[in-house]
Amino acid sequence: MDRTLRRKITNSIFVVLCAAATLVALAFLVMILWSLVAKGFGGIDANIFTMTQPAPGSPGGLLNGILGSILMCALGMLLAIVVGILAGTWLAEYGGKTAYGQVVRFLNDVLLSAPSILVGLFVYEILVKPFHGFSGYAGGVALGLLAVPIVTRTTEDMLTLQPNTLREAGMALGAGRGFVIRSIIWKAAGAGLFTGGLLGFARISGETAPLLFTSLGNQFVNLKMSQPMGSLPTTIFQFALSAYDDWQRLAWVGALLIAIAVLAVNIVGRLVARETHRP
Amino acid sequence: MFKTFVAAAGVAGLLASASYAADISGAGATFPAPVYAKWAETYKATTGTGLNYQAIGSGGGIKQIKAKTVDFGASDKPLKPEDLDASGLYQFPTVVGGVVPVVNIPGINAGQIKLTGPMLAAIFYGQVKTWDDPVIAKANPGVKLPSMPITVVHRSDGSGTSFLFTSYLSMKSPAWSSKVGASDSVNWPTGLGGKGNDGVSAFVKQTPGSIGYVEYAYAKQNKMAYVLVQNKNGKYPAPTAEDFAAAAAGAKWAQAPGNYLLLLDQPGANAWPITGATFILVYKNQENAASGQQVLKFFDWAYKNGDGAAAQLDYVPLPLPVKNLIRKQWTTNVTAGGKPVYTGK
Amino acid sequence: MNATTMDSETAPPRETAPGQSELSETIFRGLCFGAATLLMAALAGVVISLAIGGWPAFKQFGFGFFTSSAWNPVTEDYGAAGPIVGTVVTSVLALVIALPLAVGVSVFLVEFCPRNIAKPIAVAVELLAGIPSIVYGMWGLFVLAPWFALHVQLPLMTSTSLPGWFQAMIAGIPNGANIFTASLILAIMILPYMSAVFRELLLTIPSQVREAAYGLGSTNFEVVSKVMIPYVRRGAVGVVMLGLGRALGETMAVTFIIGNSHGFPHSLFDSGSTIASTIANEFAEATSDMHTSALIALGLVLFILTFAVLAIARLLLASEKH
């Protein structure tokens, strides 16, 4: 077989395999989303957003979980984005090649694979036990600790791939290094940084175990972060494994809400990014 | 972008100052969580006091009350009197429930198979391996048992349900007692582990020839094929609320130090042999008399008004004599500065 | 052809323009460094609290903790060997399944997909990451497991024409709750993370690089495999770490479907356990101090395991470079 034909065939096989991989991924997505929507969509009504979680047999909704999740995820993402982007920037721009930098990078990956329950235990030891009380703050910190390695990792990877010409151009104009990073490199890597934040949010939006030890949960609406707070994942966890149909249905609704939230953040974020980036 | 962040943080801060914080907090056992939730809902509607109960597991409940992060702990497994004394805790029961063995055998419906305690132990130990084993056939004359291998399904997570079940097996089988023992999490000799009652139900439903054990509410809600278990009187009662109550009625709480009592193999023609109560843990010496009073006030209210809700959710309320005994215990066992925190007034 | 960071020694001397100052430079650099160190402190904190909590178990069992496959809460005899094996096998298997899929998906979206549907498909794949892990667990238990038992396990187990070693590898109860299905669920879970990051990496490749390669007459396959993937090699390592990390620590999705038996799994279709699933299953109810300590010790073992696996992965990928 002559070489050109062989290369063409290899190429065709490759394209087909890539398309097949995408189809497989989409197929799983459809199957899982189908279960989620089939079980959860029918339960969405006004009560979900206006009433707190019920006892079995009573009417109710998921308001306490929704508000609690919003507050704690917001705190967690705030911590993760601030610390993660700065740390990733340090690794990419300043100290990444030093021995200390290697250690930080490696340990970041280790933290990334920490089971969430252990991070929750750690935050319990430092923020719950000494203060004799569960709190939304502790929950937010635990979530932040889980998201930060993802943001750090992605930030470092994205920044490193920005071509040096950008940096050189900025510095040649007389700008300091930090200024160059903030005004040029960060903006150039914007889409990638957003993906890092999104993946971090996706991870923590569904986490249950760490919240059980830090924010505990609360079947009433509570906006005081110094008190135990409810969250969607903990409610889902409790309701999904119960014996009661109405609780199980609420669990699926909650899971669907989380998936929709991640999708919404994804789409809205990209739209906003497109608006602020004039081509 | 940054400005939106600041704005959002500001709104959050504003919101954070408003709240509807609960007045009492408790955590622990998952078994009674639905009925505690129901009671708390009604209690808040009638008295305005909120009770935040979170089901983090009996072990979690015990840990948290010891760490004083909650007002009361809840455990499906009672603490032994030594442990109670060592931590300065007092425990009392609230509701009763039953553990029900369930099977998935083609052609067999609910209540068609009878097993004794020693048989159950032999099955879960892996000694009896097929459904048509002569041991099982002897107790079930006239029932068509297929020659299928038995797949044992147990709990993978620690749970009070497992504690009750393994305690019963230990009681009925010396081999089980010495080789495996009783605990909320044991080294099961054979079988699969399902997560939660839900996981066990799912595995049993999906695996022909399997046997598992679940809380009564799950067996009932999922319409599973339950097994009849022989009780102390030699009869085979059905697992129903009446038969759990029969087990609780015959129990001798007054003679149980520290209220440590498992309602296993209790006497009574209709008594279901695998029954148990769930417990509340509070400190004997209350640092905050007001919160101690709130806790006991809530459970007194539940004793008076909560029976209907409990029955609706497939739990069994305590018999009245037991409730009165517990109330008397409160006056001497839960004090602040030497005085009882709650006397029923 | 990776971008490198700059040396401050070779930068030309500059006058600071209005708006920047030496001070703001130092502050910014200090903040970045501080963030990185905070990260380290957090990790150190986690490891220290695990070591303190797990110490009683290590003292009791010594080195045997790593090799014993016992797990008996009644006699208080604990050993980590079963969960260790389960964790390693499921994570590696999940990565083996997910990595080619992730590369395939991202390459397809960047190179072959029509422009107008590429973005929606990318968003759709990222949506997989947003599904709570408990949903994966439940889907795995109620949908995948029965299907797998019926359509994969039963036919394979009843077919008599398979070689002996293969049969040994697939022995097990046909109900779909085993190491393999758990790995499959894990693979689906880590796929969106890996493909999203990999796609972003591929998108940063300057178009001149790709066009030059195509201009030389290369096929898509050659451009992707010989130019694009090597260009993002360092980031690709990061993608693998990301996937591996998520797989090692994932709890809920695995717990429902792995069957949860503590000993060594005897075959791919046998039930097993992972460190994360064991901790998640038993921690809430563990009442005895030794049980709790054993579980925390297990957590520390996972950290050590992660260290080892990531270090090995790094070494392998680094040696490939030359």
Of B12, B44, B52, the CB nearest to A218: B52
Band the pLDDT of C207: cuts 50, 70, 90: confident
Place of tokens 């090692």: C248
Tokens 């391996």, located at residue: B129
Hey, are the CB atoms on A71 and B67 less than 8 Å from each other?
Answer: no
**Residue whose C-alpha is closest to residue C203's, from C225, C232, C223:** C232
Residues 6 or more apart from A223 whose CB is under 8 A from it? A67, A71, B15, B16, B17, B18, B19, B20
Interface of C with A in 76-105 (CB under 8 A): 100-105
Q: What is the pLDDT of residue C7?
A: 52
pLDDT of residue C321: 47
Kindly give the residue spans of alpha helices, DSSP state H, lying in C108-162: 115-127, 133-139, 145-148, 154-158
Distance, first Cα to last Cα, chain B: 58
Please check whether residue C274 touches A, CB under 8 A.
Answer: no
Min Cα separation B158/chain C (Å): 5
How much is the pLDDT for B11?
52
In a domain, C44, yes or no: no
Interface ipTM above 0.85? no
Q: Could you say which of C71, C141, C145 has the minimum Cβ distance to residue B187?
A: C71
Interface contact B38-A58, CB threshold 8 A: yes
Residues of C with CB under 8 A from a CB of B: 70-75, 137, 141-142, 145-146, 149, 173, 175-177, 255-256, 259-262, 271, 273, 277, 280-287, 291-292
Question: What is the C-alpha separation between A233 and A241, in angstroms, rounded?
Answer: 12
Average pLDDT score over residue span C236-242: 78
Closest Cα of chain B to C308: distance in Å? 28
What pTM does this model have?
0.80
The mean predicted confidence, pLDDT, of chain C is 81
DSSP label at residue B53: E
Each residue of C165-193: pLDDT tens digit?
777 777 776 677 788 889 999 999 899 88
A69-78, A184-193, B289-298, C251-260: which has the minimum mean pLDDT?
A: C251-260
The pLDDT-based confidence of C13 (bands split at 50, 70, 90) is low
Domain around C200: 60-320
Our CA-based measurement puts residue C200 at a distance from the nearest CA of chain B, in whole angstroms, of 22
Q: What does the pLDDT look like over C71-106, one tens digit per residue?
A: 877 777 888 888 888 998 999 999 999 999 999 999
Nearest Cβ partner of B34 from A222, A244, A276? A244
A120-174 residue pLDDT tens: 888 988 888 888 888 899 999 999 999 999 899 889 888 888 888 888 888 888 8
Taking 70 as the pLDDT cut, the residues of chain B under it are 1-22, 345
User: Are C235 and A179 inside 8 Å of each other by CB?
Assistant: no
Lowest mean pLDDT among A236-245, B48-57, B85-94, C203-212: A236-245
Nearest CA in chain B to C144: B206
Stated as kind and residue range, the H or E segment containing B26 is: strand B24-28
In chain A, what residues touch C107 (CB-CB under 8 Å)?
18
Return the partners of chain A (3 or more C-beta pairs < 8 Å): B, C
Q: Do the Cβ atoms of A192 and C15 come within 8 Å?
A: no
Q: Is B24 helix (H, G, I), strand (E, B) or coil?
A: strand
Q: How many domains does chain C have?
A: 1
Our CA-based measurement puts residue C3 at a distance from the nearest CA of chain A, in whole angstroms, of: 5
Taking CA atoms, A120 is separated from A117, A141, A143, C91, in Å, by 5, 9, 8, 22
Above 90 in pLDDT, residue C47? no
Q: Tokens 């609960």 label which residue?
A: B22
CA atoms within 13 A on the CB side of C16: 12
A91 to C3, C213, C235: CA distances (angstroms): 14, 31, 13
Mean pLDDT of chain A: 86
Closest in A57, A219, A276 to B52, CB measured: A219
Domain CATH for C93: 1.10.3720.10
